[in-house]
Amino acid sequence: MKLPITLKVNGESYRLDAEAKRTLLDVLREDLALTGTKKGCGAGECGACTVLMDGKPVNSCLVLAVDASGREITTIEGVGGLDGLSPVQEALVDHGAVQCGYCTPGVVLTAKALLDSNPHPTEAEVREGLSGNLCRCTGYVKIVEAVLAVSRASERRD
Amino acid sequence: MSYAIVGQRVRRVDAREKVSGRAVYTGDLNLPHMLVGKVLRSPHAHARILSIDTSKARSLPGVKAVLTWEDTPKILWNSAGFPPSPGAVLMEDQYILTDKARYVGDAVAAVAAVDEDTAERALELIEVEYEALTPAMDVEAAMAEGAPLIHSAEKNVAAHMPVVIGDVEEGFRQADFVFEDRYYVPKVYQVTMEPCGVAVAAPDIDGRITIWTSTQMPHLVRGITAHALGLKTGKVRIIKPPVGGAFGSRLGVVNEPVAALLALKSGYPVMLKYTREESFLGTESRHPITMVLKTGVKKDGSFTARQMTAYIDGGAYATHTPSFAGPVAGWFLAMYKCANIKVDNYSVYTNSTQCGAFRGYGNPQVVFAVESQVDDIAMALGLDPLEIRRKNHPCEGEVWTWSGWEIESCGLEEAIERGAKAIGWDTKRNGQAVPSGTKKRGVGMGYMMHVSGARPMLHETSAAVVKINEDGSANLIFSNSDVGQGSGTALTQVAAEELGLAYEDVMITKTADTDVAGFDIGSHASRQAYSGGNAVRKAAAAAREKLLTMAAEILQVPVENLTVENGVVLTREGEEKSISVAEVSHKAHFGSHGHQIIGVASEEPEGNPPVYAAQFAEVEVDTETGVVEVLKVVAAHDVGTAINPTLVEGQIQGALQQGIGYALTEEYRYDPASGRPLNANLADYKILTAMDMPEVETILVEASCRTGPFGAKSVGESGLVGTAAAIANAVFDATGIRFRELPITPEKVLAALRAQEK
């Protein structure tokens, strides 16, 4: 059964008909060609598909597209572009926190949401915040350093 | 020696595209009329296939191809990514789709359909009649008298490799003490975040087929895939987009032949993308090995005889295993000097998914056993564990038994010294670490050596083309098999350094394409910086020589007086003349010469310089819960020249996450009766999260070598090789309990603590 939905993604509205069983992840990737959001498990275990829904990180593989109708969705394509990267993205690049890059879009969105709600987290809070985003390349060392560096830089500006 | 670009922490060439979500991975591709491929997998660990009825699936609207063994070329092949070489023992025992089920997940049929729902419905409509057979799930069962035969051979032992140096029996007679212990290491899984097994195959009208695939080895995968399909190698073109992690899992063919056969039979492009569960079920993992070590030692801690008998569980198909037995022997015999060494390796078929390459390639298994036993020996003899390693490891100038070649450089002494200081060895060892209540603390270490490539066992060919553009920038054309480790960045640094150009002015081919770049073995054996780096440096040097020759002509100075720095050719001393690379190159293109300055190299590197590491762990064991918490790991690594220290640290830090998992949390398990996997998902297969990772300190020891590009050796695999041993030795230091089986789970720790109390 297809249902008409309106998805608000990265500030743009999309009207489409989605099968009730389809996930937000699949609709983003297949219908809207927003392939920056990655699929790592399809079961909410790895965090590669993290997007923001009304500013909060969710595993888009666990959200039905119809349930995302009318909500504000932010994907990696909505964070930084040709005109410049966001502070979290810049920090990940500068700290060498990117390797294969498959977990990276999810990490960017999780870190963004964390810093938006808690601009100066402790290291333990950063680690807890990122604990739903599995990474197999970095040991999280440089990712944690990068997120803490963003916090420190904004502290200087505060 | 300091350099302008080598040794600098430059940003990765692919960081911005990855961090912005713009990097297009294989699974992100979409071609016109692209079909979705799916594989039907055996639910039985061991079964005869009596019949397959595909008629219902074929008649389902939207289904474009349904394939079984009947449709596959009757060509046996081996998926392991090896070049034909002395060390490659390639037993061919696979078909693209099997005629007998040898593990749960074995590929029995495949479909291509217009969408995923239709493909999945088609799989449900395929009717397979199985006759279930008894499975053999471990080496004991597979080697037992009357064991069910997995292949048509008379036994399940695929290969037996003995290695003998000197006379171990004589060595044991000379020993003051003989230690004999049995160790077991389990199957563990690479867990790339991009599930292993994703390819798009597209046939063209001229009889060629293009395959985009997430691979470590574009050229070798081209050859194996062509062989499996019965095509000439040149008919297959492999394109490698960004890869979402590899760690050995993509070291050879994964699902390219199935995708290609579906594409050829349907006539359309086919995307074949394994789910997370399928990647666990159907792709290669680390070999479980049972190792019996027997070591003869003098009172002063010198070895008189070293012997290992290893039973390697290779799973259902040979793939890497008979060749893998070679390095397993090599790691063991080359670690410590001894006149008498004997290795007996048995490669055994079982009804589990075939095993293959995983970062370290047998070394983590062997080092866990050897370094656990060496600690016991040191303890029994009252020797300092650091001293027994210092005393017995092979050093610079000595012959390394792994390769038979002289060791070019050795940074182990410094690694041990700095690592021990960083962990607080002298203050924390022997129960000096402060316990807290019911918790006990201890520190331990493990040492390892590893390769830079696989010579002389395997060929290590690389090729590079450097072309200088008319604006003074340069392209580096390379079969870039960067799978996340950053080799594309390191190679760009090598080229820029040699050319005398700014890093930003050298652009590597980010995507590997076998129609474009010269033959390269790929990413394996920690070889890219060393082997690839040497070819890149030579190609760049050839271009530089042509550039300087032409500049000398323009400037009217002898060529030997010229050098090039940051994009400018200038005289070394004396008369001050200069000209930009851009101007020389522009004149080359459009002046009277009419040519582009291009440097080319295709070669094997001269050597295989080993790297060393000393890793230290501090642990806290909770005696009430049995939980082992790693408080800190210090990883002191001799890598040769660190071309980019940030990348080098990243390799070690990421490997440590895998090494700690190997020690404590990771084990891919099967039900021994049915052969069904018990934890083929990321909820039940436990890799460390950001919260689980301890404090990590990396120490780089740069014992540069003569044959490496700017002195570089390697780092890709070595970060996890010694980790489990260091942790097990720290647990011993904390509790006095020796664990000879991984992972060291709370259940095992509690049981051992209870036994200790009695």
Taking the CA of residue A156 and the nearest CA in chain B, the distance in Å comes to 24
Give me the helix-helix angle, B218-229 and B256-266, nearest 10°. Answer: 50
Chain A residue with the nearest C-alpha to that of B196: A40
Shortest CA distance to B644 belongs to which of B479, B453, B497, B454?
B497
Q: In chain B, positions 163-202, which contact chain A (CB-CB < 8 Å)?
A: 190-195
Span B238-259, pLDDT tens digits? 999 999 999 999 999 999 999 9
User: What structural domains does chain B harbor?
Assistant: 15-21+461-603 (3.30.365.10), 31-133+195-282 (3.90.1170.50), 135-188+286-392 (3.30.365.10), 403-452+609-758 (3.30.365.10)
Chain B residue with the nearest C-alpha to that of A92: B19
CB of B23 within 8 Å of a chain A CB? The answer is yes
Shortest CA distance to B136 belongs to which of B156, B118, B153, B116?
B156
Residue A139 with chain B: CB contacts under 8 Å: 653-657, 688, 693, 696
Interface probe for B, chosen from A104, A137, A150 (most Cβ of B below 10 Å), is A137
Span B391-436, pLDDT tens digits? 999 999 999 999 999 999 999 999 999 999 999 999 999 876 666 6
Residue ranges per structural domain of chain A: 2-78, 87-157
The separation between CA B399 and the C-alpha centre of its own chain, rounded to angstroms, equals 25
Task: Give yes or no for residue A158 having a pLDDT over 70.
Answer: no
Q: Residue for token digits 């720790």?
A: B749
The pLDDT score that the predictor gives to residue B2 is: 84
Contact A104 B11 (CB under 8 A): no
The strand order across the sheet containing B695-701 reads: B439-450, B611-622, B628-638, B695-701
Residue B242 with chain A: CB contacts under 8 Å: 100-101
Q: Higher-confidence residue: B87 or B611?
A: B611
Domain A2-78 falls under CATH 3.10.20.30: yes
For range B655-682, the mean pLDDT: 98
The pLDDT score that the predictor gives to residue B574 is: 65
CB of B683 within 8 Å of a chain A CB? The answer is yes
Give me chain B's average pLDDT, please: 97
Chain B residue with the nearest C-alpha to that of A47: B193
Query: Virtual CA dihedral for B417, B423, B427, B431, nearest 10 degrees?
Result: -120
Taking the CA of residue A134 and the nearest CA in chain B, the distance in Å comes to 6
Shortest CA distance to A89 belongs to which of B19, B148, B49, B467?
B19
The pLDDT score that the predictor gives to residue A56 is: 98
The pLDDT score that the predictor gives to residue B433 is: 61
For range B228-232, the mean pLDDT: 98
Span B77-111, pLDDT tens digits? 999 999 999 888 889 999 999 999 999 999 999 99
Measure CB to CB from residue A139 to each of B25, B195, B656 and give the nearest one: B656
* Distance of alpha carbon B532 from alpha carbon B744, whole angstroms: 38
The separation between CA B283 and the C-alpha centre of its own chain, rounded to angstroms, equals 14
Taking the CA of residue B49 and the nearest CA in chain A, the distance in Å comes to 30
Could you tell me the CA-to-CA distances from B546 to B410, B618, B710 in Å, in that order? 36, 55, 21
Shortest CA distance to B620 belongs to which of B343, B428, B460, B346?
B428
Shortest CA distance to B573 belongs to which of B589, B581, B562, B583?
B562
The pLDDT score that the predictor gives to residue A50 is: 98
Taking the CA of residue A118 and the nearest CA in chain B, the distance in Å comes to 18
pTM of the model: 0.98
Contact B649 A144 (CB under 8 A): no
- Residues linked to residue B448 through DSSP beta bridges, in sequence order: B613
Radius of gyration, alpha carbons of chain B: 27
Shortest CA distance to B320 belongs to which of B526, B136, B87, B485?
B87
3-state secondary structure of A64: strand
Q: Residue for token digits 């333990």?
A: A124
Measure CB to CB from residue A130 to each of B243, B486, B690 and give the nearest one: B690
Contact B347, B325 (CB under 8 A): yes
* Distance of alpha carbon B586 from alpha carbon A117, whole angstroms: 54
Chain B residue with the nearest C-alpha to that of A79: B20
B665: amino acid identity, one letter: T
Contact A144, A127 (CB under 8 A): yes
Chain B residue with the nearest C-alpha to that of A78: B20
Q: In chain B, positions 387-416, which contact chain A (CB-CB < 8 Å)?
A: none
Measure CB to CB from residue B22 to each of A36, A92, A94 and give the nearest one: A36
The separation between CA B51 and the C-alpha centre of its own chain, rounded to angstroms, equals 39
Residue B249 with chain A: CB contacts under 8 Å: none
Contact A140 B693 (CB under 8 A): yes
Contact B245 A99 (CB under 8 A): yes
* Distance of alpha carbon A132 from alpha carbon A140, whole angstroms: 12
Per-residue pLDDT band at B723 (split at 50, 70, 90): very high
Taking the CA of residue A70 and the nearest CA in chain B, the distance in Å comes to 24
Contact B612, B448 (CB under 8 A): yes
Measure CB to CB from residue A36 to each of B21, B193, B275 and give the nearest one: B21
Radius of gyration, alpha carbons of chain A: 16
CB of B689 within 8 Å of a chain A CB? The answer is yes
* Distance of alpha carbon B581 from alpha carbon B122, whole angstroms: 61
The separation between CA A61 and the C-alpha centre of its own chain, rounded to angstroms, equals 12
Q: In chain B, positions 484-503, which contact chain A (CB-CB < 8 Å)?
A: 484-486
Superfamily of chain region A87-157:
[2Fe-2S]-binding domain (1.10.150.120)
Neighbours of A79 (CB within 10 A): 21
Span B149-179, pLDDT tens digits? 999 999 999 999 899 999 999 999 999 999 9
* Distance of alpha carbon B28 from alpha carbon B199, whole angstroms: 10
Taking the CA of residue A130 and the nearest CA in chain B, the distance in Å comes to 6
Structure tokens at A77: 């394509």
Structure tokens at B720: 């996890």
The separation between CA B636 and the C-alpha centre of its own chain, rounded to angstroms, equals 20
The separation between CA A86 and the C-alpha centre of its own chain, rounded to angstroms, equals 13
Q: Residue for token digits 């904004």?
A: A154
Q: Where are the beta strands (DSSP E) in B1-62?
A: 35-41, 47-53
Q: Is B503 exposed, middle or buried (0-12, 13-18, 19+ CB in 10 A)?
A: middle
For range A129-157, the mean pLDDT: 95
The pLDDT score that the predictor gives to residue B141 is: 97
DSSP track, A34-46: -TTS--S-SSSSS
The pLDDT score that the predictor gives to residue A81 is: 86
Taking the CA of residue B107 and the nearest CA in chain A, the distance in Å comes to 20
* Distance of alpha carbon B153 from alpha carbon B347, whole angstroms: 13
Contact A42 B653 (CB under 8 A): no
For range B325-349, the mean pLDDT: 97
Contact A137 B658 (CB under 8 A): no
Residue B16 with chain A: CB contacts under 8 Å: 85, 89, 93
CB of B20 within 8 Å of a chain A CB? The answer is yes
Taking the CA of residue B635 and the nearest CA in chain A, the distance in Å comes to 13
Instruction: Judge if the upstream peptide bond of residue A57 is cis by omega within 30 degrees of 0.
Output: no
